[in-house]
Amino acid sequence: MFYVIGLGLSDEKDITVKGLEVVRRSERVYLESYTSILMVEKEKLEAFYERPVITATRELVELEADEILKDADKVDVAFLVVGDPLGATTHTDLLLRAEFQNIPTSVIHNASILTALGSTGLQMYSFGQTLSLPFYTESWKPDSWYPKLEENLKLGVHTLVLLDIKVREQSEENMARGRLIYEPPKFMNPAQAFSQILHTESVRHPAAKPQDSTQERKELPYPTSEREDTTNSYDTLLPPSQTLAISLSRIGTPTQKLISGTIEELAQLSEADFGEPLHSVVIVGKRLHPLELEYGGKFAIGGEKGGWWKVGQQVYGVQRETF
């Protein structure tokens, strides 16, 4: 039997009892290592599983799938995936290949970021499409994720933003010279994520500025500082000072940390404020429920006086409930 087994989110003990029984009796055990990582070393997994673990790189899975599936019609082979096994189509592809070869398959599910994001207190029913935010470089800032975010914001639903990770990447120079030297793994921090989101926002919706600075400006009925805070001066669904977000760091681990606030507040934090990987980010939709506001307030920048409560009540229009 070819088993695809979810490992959950944190360490070696997040595997299910059923999954562990299969791993301990498997002839070969692979660990998929390029779509996510576990917060524990391979040696610790091997000690707990009492089996050697073969690291499955992207090259191995995509080019030598038959090696992984070999003899799985006669012996048990376990393919371990961090989170739930069927989060990415990579693994459905492997299952399809197995079935074309008449190899029986079985999937053992586990927690993934999609379920664990319940830790934000946001209702899972109120999430729209999930986005993946890629690393921006000097010359490449792909913003194909932006329209999906707009679709979600227009409906008022929440958006889970998965942050890019890079494992076993080669530098351009090493690739050009054919040297199989890999860069250290990189995991996007929410600080970079919010900075990228603000960059794309500023490109897509440059704030309306007077054409000529000497031009006479119409007298405003309120002070400038207040105006920036309470009006949406350009046509966007994502005004940073009026849009709430929550960062999720190391969800499901003992050092789990959530931070809530406006995108503007979150973008001012440093990488160290969020800490070690893995991270993701949620952009909060306008259909925010009082219980969601209350729960998210536990993690608010600036506490009771922070943007979370102010924007949640004044812009999102949520009535605070007595609890």
Contact footprint for its own copies (CB under 8 A)? 6, 8-9, 11-18, 20-21, 83-87, 89, 92-93, 96, 99-100, 107, 109-112, 114-116, 118-119, 121, 123-132, 151, 155, 157, 252, 289, 291-292, 294-295, 298, 323
Note the residue count of the chain: 323
> Considering all CA atoms of the chain, what is the largest pairwise distance in Å, rounded to the nearest integer?
82
d(CA 12, CA 42): 9
Q: Minimum CB separation from its own copies for residue 76, in Å?
A: 15
The nearer residue to its own copies, 9 or 191, going by C-beta atoms, is: 9
The nearer residue to its own copies, 16 or 241, going by C-beta atoms, is: 16
Q: Minimum CB separation from its own copies for residue 317, in Å?
A: 19
Q: What tokens does 193 get?
A: 């994520």
Q: Minimum CB separation from its own copies for residue 162, in Å?
A: 8
Q: What tokens does 4 get?
A: 């695809």
Q: Which residues contact 168 (CB under 8 A, 6 or more apart)?
A: 33, 34, 57, 58, 182, 185
The nearer residue to its own copies, 124 or 207, going by C-beta atoms, is: 124
Please identify which residue in the block is written with the tokens 């000529």.
212
> Sign (positive/negative) of CA torsion 86, 88, 91, 95?
positive
d(CA 131, CA 282): 10
d(CA 125, CA 238): 22
- Strand-strand pairing, 77-81 and 159-163: unpaired
Q: Minimum CB separation from its own copies for residue 249, in Å?
A: 15
**Partners of 187 in beta bridges:** 165
Q: Minimum CB separation from its own copies for residue 233, in Å?
A: 28
Q: Minimum CB separation from its own copies for residue 187, in Å?
A: 19
Q: Minimum CB separation from its own copies for residue 62, in Å?
A: 13
On whether the CB atoms of residues 280 and 161 are closer than 8 A, the answer is yes
On whether the CB atoms of residues 119 and 45 are closer than 8 A, the answer is no
Q: What is the dihedral of CA 124, 128, 129, 134, to 10 degrees?
A: -80
The nearer residue to its own copies, 158 or 229, going by C-beta atoms, is: 158
The nearer residue to its own copies, 64 or 93, going by C-beta atoms, is: 93
The nearer residue to its own copies, 13 or 305, going by C-beta atoms, is: 13
Q: Minimum CB separation from its own copies for residue 48, in Å?
A: 8
The nearer residue to its own copies, 17 or 272, going by C-beta atoms, is: 17
- Which amino acid makes up residue 196? Q
Please report which helix (H) or strand (E) contains residue 163, including its range.
Answer: strand 159-163
The nearer residue to its own copies, 162 or 267, going by C-beta atoms, is: 162
